[in-house]
């Protein structure tokens, strides 16, 4: 039997730490050096599939979290407080008012199990990577108690709810708060599928539905939007580069805005973002003049399927005009509803001619790609944190990679006829330690994109449906509109780090930032 000692494993860890501290082989031979240079600029665009901007005839934009970037955690805190207060007004215990939003806990892409009240991080196949019950992290036998196979049927949408959007972050945290409160409260008996108080049973499914109803209430009544508009400086980032980007795009292509928000909210937000005072670097003009077409109330993802009736908006009153609009495109006019097919007809473009920019992996990217063949640009603001961790903790990623190599070397001279059984427990323990340390760097439930060396469901969807992605749509300013975003060659059968390309004259476009460790 082959027995690598703990000293050998520890030696590997120390070796890579010293190499990094000494700025020797690691940062020079691997791609972390280029990543750090690119990170300082903060303007990288990542590439999954090659895309030539010169072939794009039309650029489409979502509004919320794409053009209108909300300040974090201020905006999520507002959403959480409104959601929490709504539950209390519905009859939930007043003690819930003691919970405050913690931005280090929730992340996009978690799955809520409405049967057991657990928050799950899974991979694309449904294998469970992280499981929390309230704020308790379940491990080993605890997870087996709920999921003996450590696997879920994520297509069971009646039971499992995917929290894929940035709007879901307050909701995600509130699920954990409710489970935490009722579990710790002496008034309630903790059951597998809910909580019991005297003759009353409150299932996890019922609390899930109450939170969903509260979310719908906030959006239907406009409570969240109203509070946002009262203090735009606090909740919305105003960037003078935005009108510059839209103006430059409009010189070479058509531009449209397609948002689920209503006209009055869209009008207020876009005025704030684009109507700069006279005397500023941006010449004053109406926000609608930056777009060839503006569509509100799109009801995505339905917008990418059958859609709804296309109607004109009376911009003076904000009311919809009676009847279905069947005419040609009128510049300066705002439309409501419609579909992606109608947008193509009005702008006289085909699906392959459109680059659509949005933040919603399902509503914006997946549906526009699968149903219409649009080119897609996913906005992932969380990449800022991901990139910082990658650069600052490069030694941990390198150590994990070399532990994998060391593991492979133990089996190098063995085949199906070999009787030897290498003892890999020390390596496995070290891999677990490094993986745990990596996850802690991102937040309480780990990275948006990975759990150790395993891609999350969100990461898999990002790689599959987004042609390009970045921290902000404003990063397009750093590329000419003839630019070729070329995806690096990836051999599926090999496990190797993605090659990062760096151009000294302009920010790098980078191949997928999720390497195979």
Lowest mean pLDDT among 52-66, 83-97, 195-209, 383-397: 383-397
Q: 64: annotated binding-site residue?
A: yes
Q: Which helix (H) or strand (E) holds 250?
A: helix 241-252
Active site (annotated) includes residue 233: no
Q: Which tokens go with 231? A: 């203090």
Instruction: Choose the most confident range, by mean pLDDT, from 16-20, 40-44, 258-262.
Output: 258-262
First to last CA, the chain: 27
- pLDDT higher than threshold 80 for residue 86: yes
Q: Which residues in 277-364 belong to E strands, given as ranges?
A: 293-296, 311-313, 334-336, 354-358
**Higher pLDDT among residues 27 and 100, named by residue:** 100
pLDDT value at residue 43:
77
- pLDDT higher than threshold 80 for residue 327: yes
User: What is the SS3 assignment for 326?
Assistant: coil
Contact 119, 112 (CB under 8 A): yes
Contact 207, 178 (CB under 8 A): yes
pLDDT value at residue 439:
87
Region 31-46: mean pLDDT is: 59
Active site (annotated) includes residue 316: no
pLDDT value at residue 81:
99
For residue 184, the number of C-alpha atoms closer than 13 Å in the C-beta half-sphere is 12
Lowest mean pLDDT among 119-123, 200-204, 346-350, 371-375: 371-375
Q: Which helix (H) or strand (E) holds 88?
A: helix 74-89
Q: Which tokens go with 348? A: 């006289």
Contact 259, 64 (CB under 8 A): yes
Q: Which residues in 339-426 belong to E strands, given as ranges?
A: 354-358, 375-379
Where do you find CATH 3.40.50.1000 in the chain? 53-69+236-360
- How high is the mean pLDDT of the chain? 88
Region 195-204: mean pLDDT is: 95
Q: Which tokens go with 306? A: 């059958």
Q: Given its phi and psi angles, is residue 348 left (phi above 0), alpha (psi -120 to 50 degrees) or beta?
A: left
Judge if pTM exceeds 0.85.
yes
53-69+236-360 placed in CATH 3.40.50.1000: yes
């Amino acid at each position: 039997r082959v027995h690598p000692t703990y000293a050998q494993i520890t030696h590997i860890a120390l070796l890579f730490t010293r190499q990094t501290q000494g700025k020797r082989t690691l940062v020079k031979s691997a791609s972390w050096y280029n990543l750090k240079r690119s990170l300082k600029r903060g303007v990288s665009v990542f590439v999954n599939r090659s895309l030539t901007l010169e072939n794009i005839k039309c650029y489409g934009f979502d509004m919320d979290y794409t053009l209108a970037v909300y300040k974090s955690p201020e905006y999520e805190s507002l959403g959480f407080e409104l959601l929490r207060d709504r539950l209390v007004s519905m009859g939930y215990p007043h003690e819930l008012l003691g919970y405050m939003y913690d931005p280090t806990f929730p992340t996009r892409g978690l799955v809520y199990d409405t049967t057991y009240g657990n928050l799950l991080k899974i991979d694309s196949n449904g294998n469970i990577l992280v499981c929390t019950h309230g704020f308790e992290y379940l491990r080993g036998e605890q997870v087996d108690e709920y999921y003996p196979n450590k696997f879920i049927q994520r297509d069971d949408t009646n039971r499992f709810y995917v929290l894929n959007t940035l709007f879901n972050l307050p909701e995600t945290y509130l699920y954990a708060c409710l489970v935490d409160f009722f579990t710790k409260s002496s008034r309630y008996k903790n059951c597998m599928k809910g909580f019991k108080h005297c003759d009353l049973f409150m299932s996890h499914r019922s609390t899930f539905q109450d939170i969903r109803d509260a979310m719908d209430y906030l959006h239907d009544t406009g409570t969240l939007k109203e509070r946002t508009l009262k203090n735009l400086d606090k909740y919305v980032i105003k960037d003078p580069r935005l009108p510059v980007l839209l103006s430059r795009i409009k010189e070479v292509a058509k531009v449209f805005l397609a948002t689920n928000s209503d006209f009055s909210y869209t009008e207020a937000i876009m005025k704030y973002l684009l109507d700069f005072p006279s005397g500023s670097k941006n010449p004053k003009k109406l926000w609608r003049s930056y777009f060839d077409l503006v569509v509100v109330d799109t009801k995505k993802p339905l917008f990418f399927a059958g859609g709804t009736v296309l109607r004109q908006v009376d911009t003076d009153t904000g009311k919809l005009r009676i009847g279905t609009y069947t005419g040609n495109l009128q510049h300066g006019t705002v439309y409501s509803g419609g579909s992606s097919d109608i947008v193509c007809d009005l702008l006289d473009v085909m699906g392959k001619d459109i680059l659509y920019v949005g933040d919603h992996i399902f509503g914006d990217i997946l549906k526009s790609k699968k149903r219409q063949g649009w080119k897609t640009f996913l906005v992932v603001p969380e990449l800022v944190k991901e990139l910082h961790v990658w650069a600052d903790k490069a030694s941990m990623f390198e150590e994990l990679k070399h532990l994998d190599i060391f593991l492979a070397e133990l089996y190098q001279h063995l085949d199906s006829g070999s009787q030897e059984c290498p003892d890999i427990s020390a390596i496995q323990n070290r891999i677990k330690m490094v993986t745990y340390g990596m996850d802690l760097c991102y937040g309480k439930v780990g990275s948006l994109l990975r759990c150790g060396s395993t891609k999350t469901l969100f990461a898999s969807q990002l790689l599959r449906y987004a042609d390009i992605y970045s921290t902000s749509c404003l990063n397009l300013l750093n590329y000419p509109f003839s630019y070729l975003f070329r995806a690096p060659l990836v051999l599926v059968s090999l496990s190797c780090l993605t090659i990062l390309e760096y151009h000294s004259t302009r920010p790098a476009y980078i191949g997928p930032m999720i390497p195979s460790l």
